[in-house]
Amino acid sequence: MKTYQTKCPGFTIREAQEQDAQLLFDLICGLAEYEKMRDDVEGDPETLRRNLFEGKQANVLIGEENGVPVCFALYFYNFSTFQCKHGLYLEDLFVKPEYRGKGYGSAMLACLATKAREEDCGRFEWICLDWNEPALNVYRKIGAIPLTGWTVQRLTGQPLEDLADSF
């Protein structure tokens, strides 16, 4: 298990392990509650474990304060046809409310930026809910810029099934 040292006293970041599936699921539920989307959580710890650690469909970092898990970042790689390079895409970053304001979220972002640089990624991207001012303030502070002229498109449920059936 790889561990990363940070500049925050007592705060370390480590790669998630298979035995972390329940912990990760609990953190995901915390994120969903914060985003007012708890009813949208459909998965379970076993599905998460299988897809993350057997299927290797995404990667997760866990941030710990003195050995206590307090945050996570789930990411995966995408590809830019214009840059002809892969990119690092942050799907979710969550810091438990009682641990916010200590720089842990910024440390997680810096760790991912370092990973992106080491792996020659062309970019590091994520999306953020437009009402999440605390997160948006952090992103502006580190130099992230909002993209304009793009909207996120999504197919789920029956529309996804219908399109697949049309093939």
Domain boundaries, the chain: 3-165
Q: Is 89 a catalytic residue?
A: no
Residue 133 to residue 130: CA distance in whole angstroms: 7
Residue 122 has pLDDT above 90, yes or no: yes
Identify the CATH homologous superfamily for domain 3-165. Gcn5-related N-acetyltransferase (GNAT) (3.40.630.30)
Residue 63 to residue 108: CA distance in whole angstroms: 7
Residue 1 has pLDDT above 90, yes or no: no
Residue 106 has pLDDT above 90, yes or no: yes
Summary mean pLDDT of the chain: 96
Could you report the per-residue pLDDT of 18-51, keeping only the tens digit for each?
A: 999 999 999 999 999 999 999 999 999 999 999 9
b or e along 108-133 (b: 16 or more beta carbons within 10 Å of the residue's beta carbon)?
bbbbbeebbeeeebbebebeeeeeee
Which pLDDT score is estimated for 43? 94
Query: Which residue is associated with the tokens 């705060």?
Result: 11
